[in-house]
Amino acid sequence: MSAVILFLAVLVVIAGWWLSQQRLTAKPWLEEGPAGDFPGGDAMTWPAAKLGLGVFLAVASALFVLFISAYSMRMSVADWRPLPVPRLLWVNTGVLVLSSVALQWSYLAARRHDAEGITIGLLAGGASAVIFLAGQLLAWQRLAAAGYLVASNPANSFFYVLTAVHGLHLTGGLVALGRTSAKMWRGAEIADMRLSVELCAIYWHFLLLVWLVLLGLLTGWTDDFVNICRQLLS
Amino acid sequence: MVDIPYEGIRSIPPAEVPDVELYHPRSWWTRYVFSQDAKVIAIQYSLTASAIGLVALVLSWLMRLQLGFPGTFSFIDANQYLQFITMHGMIMVIYLLTALFLGGFGNYLIPLMVGARDMVFPYVNMLSYWVYLLAVLVLASTFFVPGGPTGAGWTLYPPQAILSGTPGQDWGIILMMSSLILFIIGFTMGGLNYVVTVLQARTRGMTLMRLPLTVWGIFTATVMALLAFPALFVASVMLLLDRLLGTSFFMPSLVEMGTLSKYGGGSPLLFQHLFWFFGHPEVYIVALPAFGIVSDLISTHARKNIFGYRMMVWAIVAIGALSFVVWAHHMYVSGMFPQFGYFFATTTLIIAIPTAIKVYNWVLTLWRGDIHLTVPMLFALGFIITFVNGGLTGLFLGNVVVDVPLSDTMFVVAHFHMVMGVAPIMVVLGAIYHWYPKVTGRMLNDALGKFHFWVTFLGAYLIFFPMHYLGLLGVPRRYFELGDTTFIPSSAHSLNAFISVVALTVGFSQMVFLFNLAWSLFKGEASGGNPWRATTLEWQTPETPPGHGNWGKELPVVYRWAYDYSVPGAAEDFIPQNQPPRATQLIQGAAS
């Protein structure tokens, strides 16, 4: 559970920093008067949707970190047999990077008020995300064909579960992306599009980050890193 | 009193909201059924939670019948008894208390108390309720599937939860997990709303330190729930896969009904870690809204500002943070590395500090207050006493050496029923008596309310105090029958019968409350907008019950904190949060 504790520690630092800006030492019973007389404590300047996405991504991170905790605890049992990670995953990773880049492109286009750029970015991002999902399904199929079934070893079970949860997360993102594209299609003002496109881009970068962490975990790359951390702690 | 520059007030622009920003219901369906208005959603949440809670109440009667008079009732067998235990616990903790405090009170009070028109994402808020309802329906359906609901205990520990021999192994456990997963998805949708609304939609002048403690409690509890429920989600998904696909996340290799099972190598301890990483914060997810609400009830009905407001806020935040590092105190006897126990015992006892600060502050708020023994106040006082009692036995159980012999006895049952059963329910009931006039425009009947309080309060003590003693004798929990043992004297059996009689009486007396709710809706005395003469914004709405959009044309502007009761020199013994300083001072000038 050390991964979870570490994650919570990071959240506590962020929350503590934010609370420290909120004048929690104020004596409200002495501070009678209109807003503006007392600095601090106003609502954030972020739009509500962006903050909502931030909170949602924190919840999603908690979910993935808990899966990772379970993974590392289950891994230490003797029956763990790591499975060979299919080469295809590297291709998929490349496609997901492209997807993320495309949405960043779309966001930059929205800042430039470039309608064509937004559309191209959204479509390219969506298409490559769909290709990524198809690639993941193909990887599953190859593994299953090679006899690495979901229940035959805990390493396999975790591989399928982690990729499935990430895939579902991506599918949820595609719904949002679809709605944004539909809005664009109906000819919304570019100024209105900017926030939607930005939120999609943030979501996609988060997905990419989660995928890179999961890939490191599944290929065993992070083992060395974890060992170093362990030595530092002990 | 501080000098106030009055010119500042006029420079604030009027807070009119253009019509397009508000969602407007167009038909009866979108107004009352698929409504996006937080107040309607709150009532839907409350009614659904109460309905499934009544099922859990009936289950507890059946359990008490069996425990008090074993062998008398042929319609209760051992399997059913386990199913009753499981469903009672799960429904009460998650589907009733969590949903009622956050979905019910959160939805109703947050927008009104922070001075917002509605939640920030009304559509998602509506979805949250419908997903919750689906979760409840899936849960209720387990009573009717072959094999019945799961009997694994509310903790659902593997391996026994999914092995044959445990009731509900076919469908019950699968539907239970599915229902939990749905509940978590639904809650996350609602939780996003509560957090972002408190952060972004506060009206002008409503700084964090001017928020009523109710909002602080619900806000912190929601943040905790958003981070804790994923652990239950992960545990449920993995247990479901163990059951359906035969994976071995949690399942060790074992012999099931004489044959070697397909499982191997899994770690039941891993499940316990995940479950309690959710389970312990869950205690405070239920307790923190109760803490917040009770602070407001006490301050209002004692006509005195809350003592140590800042400390109260800091304590809520500290309890929220600490509650994430105590989970393994539920696992002292699980076989985990024993020295972990001492770390978790220490963190557990540290939580007693902020909690004790809160109790002191409630008592000091009462001290020399102008205490009105209204029904909400009675329930609030009942809460303080019950919470202290339950909290003290928590100190016993938090210590490893004391916990080991008391584990799995009735002492544990008595402890958690006092601290997270009776105590939060006292607050729920007090809060209903307090806010019912705002929701309906009518007062609840006072005489019936007092009867309800005394029967519930005294009854709860007659039920749960003797239970501690049974636990000290060594009477185990979760047992269908005690049978003949040397260490359980026959007096324990008569005590069990006594507890059962009281429990049934208290249970039936809740019908008086339900009658009061229904009767007062039509025949209750009209309450007016602010019957308790309270300061917080929800009592200052132009209409009662508050109309769509809450505030009429202009949002309120907040000039002061939420606890200006009995301010020396003020004309009245309360000053609403939205009353400008000039008006107060003019009145003061006239008075002096």
Touching check for A144 and chain B: CB below 8 Å? no
Range of the domain at A10: 1-42
Q: Are residues B293 and B381 in the same domain?
A: no
Q: Which residues of A touch B248 (CB under 8 A)?
A: 79, 151, 154, 157
* pLDDT value at B446 more than 70: yes
CB contact under 8 A, A44 and B200: yes
Nearest-Cα distance to chain A for B207, in Å, is: 5
Touching check for A77 and chain B: CB below 8 Å? yes
Mean of the pLDDT values across residues B249-263?
89
CB contact under 8 A, A32 and B196: no
CB contact under 8 A, A35 and B563: no
The structural domain count of chain B equals: 4
> Which region among A35-39, B67-71, B352-356, B412-416 has the lowest average model confidence (pLDDT)?
A35-39
CB-nearest partner of A154 from B8, B200, B265: B265
Q: Which residues of A touch B266 (CB under 8 A)?
A: 74, 77, 154
**Per-residue confidence (pLDDT) for residue A3, from 0 to 100:** 85
**Per-residue confidence (pLDDT) for residue B585, from 0 to 100:** 54
Q: Which residues of A touch B2 (CB under 8 A)?
A: 30-33
What's this model's pTM, rounded to 2 decimal places?
0.94
Q: Are residues B54 and B185 in the same domain?
A: yes
B290 contacts B298 by C-beta, under 8 angstroms: no
pLDDT bin (cut points 50, 70, 90) of residue B591 is: very low
Touching check for A175 and chain B: CB below 8 Å? no
* pLDDT value at B547 more than 80: yes
In angstroms, the CA B267 to CA B274 distance is 11
**In which residue are the tokens 């709405």 written?**
B541
* Residue at B106: amino acid letter: G
A52 found inside a domain: no
A180 found inside a domain: yes
Rounded to the nearest 5°, which phi and psi values hold at A8? Answer: -65, -40
B61-99 pLDDT tens trace: 999 999 999 989 989 999 999 999 999 999 999 999 999
B390 found inside a domain: yes
Q: Are residues B89 and B195 in the same domain?
A: yes
Range of the domain at B544: 532-592
Q: Which of B477, B509, B527 is the last residue of a domain?
A: B527
Q: Are residues B216 and B318 in the same domain?
A: yes
Cβ count near B341 (within 10 Å)? 21
In angstroms, the CA B189 to CA B221 distance is 15
Q: Which residues of B touch A24 (CB under 8 A)?
A: 208-209, 310, 313-314
Q: Are residues A31 and A69 in the same domain?
A: no
Nearest-Cα distance to chain B for A52, in Å, is: 6
Exposed, middle or buried by CB within 10 Å (0-12, 13-18, 19+), for B426? buried
Mean of the pLDDT values across residues B410-423?
95
Nearest-Cα distance to chain B for A148, in Å, is: 12
Residues 6+ apart with CB under 8 A from A13: none
B1 found inside a domain: no
B13 found inside a domain: no
B486-535 pLDDT tens trace: 889 989 999 999 999 999 999 999 999 999 999 999 999 999 999 999 99
Coil/strand/helix, residue B442: strand
Q: Are residues A69 and A24 in the same domain?
A: no
A32 found inside a domain: yes
Q: Are residues B521 and B572 in the same domain?
A: no
Touching check for A58 and chain B: CB below 8 Å? yes
Nearest-Cα distance to chain A for B254, in Å, is: 15
Residues 6+ apart with CB under 8 A from B428: B97, B100, B101, B290
Q: Are residues B422 and B557 in the same domain?
A: no
Q: Are residues B317 and B398 in the same domain?
A: no
In angstroms, the CA A154 to CA B266 distance is 8
CB-nearest partner of B321 from A12, A32, A70: A12
DSSP letters along A58-80, please?
Answer: HHHHHHHHHHHHHHHHHHTSTT-
B6 found inside a domain: no
CB-nearest partner of A29 from B208, B265, B561: B561
A118 found inside a domain: yes
A188 found inside a domain: yes
Preceding omega of B159 cis (within 30 degrees of 0): yes
Residues 6+ apart with CB under 8 A from B574: B303, B533, B534, B535, B564, B565, B566
Q: Are residues A31 and A74 in the same domain?
A: no
Nearest-Cα distance to chain B for A176, in Å, is: 13
B320 to chain A: nearest residue by CA?
A12
B274 contacts A66 by C-beta, under 8 angstroms: yes
Q: Are residues B479 and B509 in the same domain?
A: yes
Nearest-Cα distance to chain B for A218, in Å, is: 16
CB contact under 8 A, B277 and A29: no
- How many pairs of residues across A and B have Cβ atoms under 8 Å apart? 171
pLDDT bin (cut points 50, 70, 90) of residue A72 is: confident
Strands of B456-569, DSSP E: none
Mean of the pLDDT values across residues B284-309?
96
Q: Are residues A78 and A25 in the same domain?
A: no
B338 found inside a domain: yes
Q: Which of B527, B547, B566 is the last residue of a domain?
A: B527
Q: Are residues B169 and B49 in the same domain?
A: yes
Give percent of chain A above pLDDT 90: 56
Q: Are residues A98 and A173 in the same domain?
A: yes
Q: Which residues of B touch A32 (CB under 8 A)?
A: 1-2, 4, 559-560, 581, 584
Q: Are residues B346 and B380 in the same domain?
A: no
CB contact under 8 A, B270 and A38: no
**Sign of CA pseudo-dihedral A159, A162, A167, A168:** positive
Touching check for A11 and chain B: CB below 8 Å? yes
Q: Which residues of A touch B322 (CB under 8 A)?
A: none
* A-proximal residues of B, 316-335, CB under 8 Å: 317, 321, 324-325
Q: Are residues A83 and A113 in the same domain?
A: yes
pLDDT bin (cut points 50, 70, 90) of residue B10 is: very low
Q: Are residues A65 and A7 in the same domain?
A: no
**Closest residue by Cα to residue B51 from B162, B121, B108, B133:** B133
* pLDDT value at B4 more than 70: no
In angstroms, the CA B592 to CA B587 distance is 9
Rounded to the nearest 5°, which phi and psi values hold at B256? Answer: -115, 120
Residues 6+ apart with CB under 8 A from B204: A34, A35, B12, B15, B555, B557, B558
Indicate which CATH number applies to the domain containing A224: 1.20.120.80
pLDDT bin (cut points 50, 70, 90) of residue B33 is: confident
CB contact under 8 A, A31 and B558: no
CB contact under 8 A, A36 and B200: no
A46 to chain B: nearest residue by CA?
B200
In terms of DSSP H, where are the helices of A21-153? 48-75, 88-111, 115-145
Helix axes A190-219, A221-233, angle to 10 degrees: 80
Q: Give the mean pLDDT of chain A.
A: 88
In angstroms, the CA B383 to CA B414 distance is 16
Q: Are residues A6 and A91 in the same domain?
A: no
The structural domain count of chain A equals: 2
Q: What is the ipTM of this complex?
A: 0.93
Q: Which residues of B touch A28 (CB under 8 A)?
A: 207, 209-210, 309, 560-561
Nearest-Cα distance to chain A for B33, in Å, is: 25
Residues 6+ apart with CB under 8 A from A75: A154, A155
B259 found inside a domain: no
Q: Are residues A17 and A126 in the same domain?
A: no
Q: Are residues A29 and A89 in the same domain?
A: no
* The pairing of beta strand B259-260 with beta strand B255-256: antiparallel
DSSP summary character for residue B524: S
Q: Are residues A104 and A15 in the same domain?
A: no
Cβ count near B467 (within 10 Å)? 24
Touching check for B274 and chain A: CB below 8 Å? yes
**Per-residue confidence (pLDDT) for residue A133, from 0 to 100:** 96
Q: Are residues B449 and B474 in the same domain?
A: yes
* pLDDT value at B217 more than 90: yes
Q: Are residues A135 and A19 in the same domain?
A: no
Q: Are residues B186 and B316 in the same domain?
A: no
B302-358 pLDDT tens trace: 999 999 999 999 999 999 999 999 999 999 998 888 788 889 999 999 999 999 999
B304-335 as b/e: b if 16+ CB within 10 A = bbbbbbebbbbbbbbbbbbbbbbbbbbbbebe
Q: Which residues of A touch B270 (CB under 8 A)?
A: 70, 73-74
Rounded to the nearest 5°, which phi and psi values hold at A223? Answer: -55, -45
Copy the structure tokens of residue B497.
């019968």
* pLDDT value at B562 more than 90: yes
In angstroms, the CA A209 to CA A202 distance is 11
CB contact under 8 A, A52 and B8: no
* pLDDT value at B5 more than 80: no
Q: Give the mean pLDDT of chain B.
A: 91
CB contact under 8 A, A74 and B249: yes
In angstroms, the CA A12 to CA A21 distance is 14
pLDDT bin (cut points 50, 70, 90) of residue A187 is: confident
**Per-residue confidence (pLDDT) for residue B1, from 0 to 100:** 37
Q: Which residues of A touch B309 (CB under 8 A)?
A: 28-29
B219-243 as b/e: b if 16+ CB within 10 A = bbbbbbbbbbbbbbbbbbbbbbbbb
Touching check for B192 and chain A: CB below 8 Å? yes
